[in-house]
């Protein structure tokens, strides 16, 4: 048994180095750090899964489960690395033959991961169905060591007993665990492959040369220019895949919690924390969706910039490019910006980028004040235990009971980089996003330019300290 384990580990290491050499080449520093972090997180959670949830007690079962989670973990790390590298290549905007060949290799690897994961799904499902039909007295919830699952037929009873020790146990719950893990991998790989294909089609043919499918509603495709249409379709792809994946993952963790010890234990605590994280991620996805829908409904309220007006202000204050190069909008404060730049900005903050004037209507401001108590309760971070359960319940109430539909408030850590039209879970360099306190500090004075922290008067510093703002 030990030589087989060593052979399997050596094969995985050899395949990983071969894929790295053929597809990725030398990894960047950020990619190496992300792979290491994801690897150790994967090791930790899979150990909890195998020995805490499945509760493996025999060496043969442990070897089988470790081999299974090793294959799944290897495919997950390869998929994540493909997504990060493809995002990097898209940001580099390398349209040469060498850059196109690199992107095609990534697409080929993603297709290989998808085919492998689908094959594993079908193999596990077929294996379980065959094990159920074995005419032998057994418990369907705990099928163990079935001789008919061996690689060859034994000659006598003694040989059969020896082969039974190497058969991998697969019961009803075990099969659901395995199918759920593989199903998540299939959904995530399909998501990555779909976005990769869409982005390569966009950068190769451009939107004006092909007609998008009408499934990506609620966008009026004919009213969007090239960049806006690209953002709209990409957002809808990410939203649908993220919601399906997160809901599937949440159901999978609910099953894990039911199958492990429901009493207070380390395994149940870890699974509960993972469920809480999934609920927060679903909440964040719905918030982004609501913000995007709100933006599509309100962006047309701003007037388009005419040619005569654009000559007065030549550059967009967001990208510093000429206003005449793209379609532009003018805000109520008479500041003009590119429509694409304004969309990205308003997904983060509903203030004018130049004068910080609020763009919210009176009804929206009043609705925000009414929702303030619930928002304050949501932003508190009570300790674990019973307060953690109550907080999770409050999150569910906010999730299904409604929240403030204003796109200027995002979960902690949300930045402009997470709203650009790329993979939502890519490691995009974070752009600094100003909080409301920083916006107040940076508002221009009527008497002169903005003062730095070191130039603030003692009275201003004392007022800031009284409000609880750190200087």
Mean per-residue pLDDT for 269-295?
83
Are 327 and 225 in contact, with CB atoms under 8 Å apart? yes
How much helix, strand and coil, in percent to the nearest 5, is found in the chain? 65, 5, 30
Mean per-residue pLDDT for 383-391?
52
List CB contacts of 424: < 8 A, sequence separation 6 or more: 238, 242, 418
| pTM of the predicted model as reported, rounded to 2 decimal places | 0.66
Q: Is residue 334 predicted with pLDDT exceeding 60?
A: yes
How far is it, in rounded angstroms, from Cα 139 to Cα 431?
56
List CB contacts of 193: < 8 A, sequence separation 6 or more: 107, 110, 111, 114
List CB contacts of 37: < 8 A, sequence separation 6 or more: none
Provide the percentage of residues in the chain whose pLDDT is more than 90: 8
The helix (H) or strand (E) run that includes residue 2 is: helix 2-19
Q: Is residue 118 predicted with pLDDT exceeding 70?
A: yes
How far is it, in rounded angstroms, from Cα 69 to Cα 74?
8
Q: Is residue 263 predicted with pLDDT exceeding 70?
A: no
Cβ atoms within 10 Å, residue 75: 21
For 369, counting Cβ atoms within 10 Å of its Cβ (0-12 exposed, 13-18 middle, 19+ buried), the class is exposed
Give the residue from 119, 109, 53, 29 showing the smallest Cα distance to 77.
109
Q: What is the pLDDT of residue 358?
A: 72
Q: Is residue 108 predicted with pLDDT exceeding 70?
A: yes
Give the residue from 270, 330, 289 showing the smallest Cα distance to 306.
330
Q: What is the pLDDT of residue 132?
A: 65
Q: Is residue 444 predicted with pLDDT exceeding 90?
A: no
Q: How many residues does the chain have?
A: 471
Q: Which regions of 231-322 does DSSP assign to beta strands (E)? A: 303-304
Q: Is residue 459 predicted with pLDDT exceeding 50?
A: no
Position with higher pLDDT, 180 vs 260: 180
Q: What is the pLDDT of residue 127?
A: 80
Tell me the pLDDT tens digit for each residue of 177-191.
888 899 999 999 999
Are 239 and 289 in contact, with CB atoms under 8 Å apart? yes
How far is it, in rounded angstroms, from Cα 144 to Cα 424?
41
Q: What is the pLDDT of residue 394?
A: 54
Residue recorded with tokens 């195998």: 50
Q: What is the pLDDT of residue 392?
A: 57
For 226, counting Cβ atoms within 10 Å of its Cβ (0-12 exposed, 13-18 middle, 19+ buried), the class is middle
Tell me the pLDDT tens digit for each residue of 416-425.
333 333 333 4
How does DSSP classify residue 452?
P
Same fold, 2-205 and 296-433: no
Q: Is residue 376 predicted with pLDDT exceeding 90?
A: no
- Going from N- to C-terminal start, the domains of the chain cover 2-205, 296-433, 434-471
| Beta pairing partners, 304 | 329
Most confident stretch, 3-7, 19-23, 456-460: 19-23
Lowest mean pLDDT among 58-72, 150-164, 369-383: 150-164
CATH architecture, range 296-433: 2-Layer Sandwich (3.30)
Tell me the pLDDT tens digit for each residue of 15-48.
888 888 888 888 888 888 888 888 888 888 888 8
Position with higher pLDDT, 157 vs 456: 157
CA angle 2, 117, 17 (to 5 degrees): 55
Mean per-residue pLDDT for 281-305?
80
How far is it, in rounded angstroms, from Cα 223 to Cα 365?
29
Are 206 and 155 in contact, with CB atoms under 8 Å apart? no
Q: What is the pLDDT of residue 370?
A: 58
List CB contacts of 15: < 8 A, sequence separation 6 or more: 74
Domain 2-205 has CATH 2.170.120: no
| DSSP three-state, residue 425 | coil
Cβ atoms within 10 Å, residue 94: 15
Direct distance between the N- and C-terminal alpha carbons of the chain, in angstroms, rounded to an integer = 63
Cβ atoms within 10 Å, residue 347: 23
């Amino acid at each position: 048994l030990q030589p087989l384990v060593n052979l399997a580990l050596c094969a995985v290491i050899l395949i990983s180095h071969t894929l790295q050499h053929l597809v990725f080449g030398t990894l960047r520093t950020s990619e190496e750090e992300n792979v290491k972090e994801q690897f150790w997180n994967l090791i930790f959670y899979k150990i909890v899964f195998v020995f805490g949830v499945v509760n493996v007690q025999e060496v043969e079962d442990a070897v089988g489960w470790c081999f299974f989670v090793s294959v799944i973990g290897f495919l997950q790390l390869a998929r994540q690395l493909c997504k990060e590298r493809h995002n990097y290549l898209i940001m580099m905007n390398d349209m040469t033959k060498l850059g196109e060949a690199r992107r095609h290799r990534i697409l080929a690897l993603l297709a290989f991961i998808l085919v492998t994961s689908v094959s594993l799904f079908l193999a596990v499902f077929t294996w379980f169905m065959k094990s159920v039909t074995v005419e032998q007295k057994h418990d369907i919830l705990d099928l163990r060591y079935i001789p008919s699952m061996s690689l060859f037929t034994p000659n006598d009873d003694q040989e059969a007993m020896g082969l039974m020790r190497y058969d991998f146990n697969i019961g009803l719950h075990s099969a659901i665990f395995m199918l759920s893990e593989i199903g998540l991998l299939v959904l995530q790989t399909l998501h990555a492959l779909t976005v990769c294909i869409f982005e390569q089609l966009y950068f190769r043919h451009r939107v004006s040369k092909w007609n998008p499918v009408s499934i990506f509603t609620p966008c009026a495709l004919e009213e969007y220019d090239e960049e806006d249409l690209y953002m709209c379709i990409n957002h809808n792809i990410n939203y649908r895949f993220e919601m399906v994946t997160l809901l599937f993952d949440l159901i999978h963790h609910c099953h894990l919690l039911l199958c492990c010890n429901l009493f207070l234990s380390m395994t149940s605590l870890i699974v509960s924390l993972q469920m809480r994280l999934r609920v927060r991620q679903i909440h964040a996805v719905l918030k982004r969706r609501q913000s995007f829908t709100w933006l599509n409904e309100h962006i047309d309220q701003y007037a388009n910039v005419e040619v005569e007006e654009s000559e007065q202000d030549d550059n967009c204050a967001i990208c510093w490019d000429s206003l005449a190069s793209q379609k532009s909008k003018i805000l109520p404060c008479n500041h003009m910006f590119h429509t694409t730049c304004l969309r990205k900005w308003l997904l983060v903050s509903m203030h004018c980028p130049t004068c910080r004037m609020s763009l919210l209507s009176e009804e929206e401001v009043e609705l925000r004040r009414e929702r303030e108590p619930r928002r304050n309760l949501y932003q508190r971070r009570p300790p674990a235990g019973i307060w953690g359960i109550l907080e999770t319940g409050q999150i569910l109430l906010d999730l299904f009971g409604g929240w403030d539909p204003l796109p200027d408030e995002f979960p902690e850590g949300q930045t402009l980089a997470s709203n650009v039209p790329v993979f939502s879970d890519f490691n995009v360099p974070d752009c600094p996003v100003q909080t409301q306190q920083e916006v107040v500090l940076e508002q221009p004075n009527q008497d002169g330019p903005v003062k730095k922290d070191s130039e603030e008067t003692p009275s201003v510093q004392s007022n800031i300290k009284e409000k609880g703002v750190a200087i």
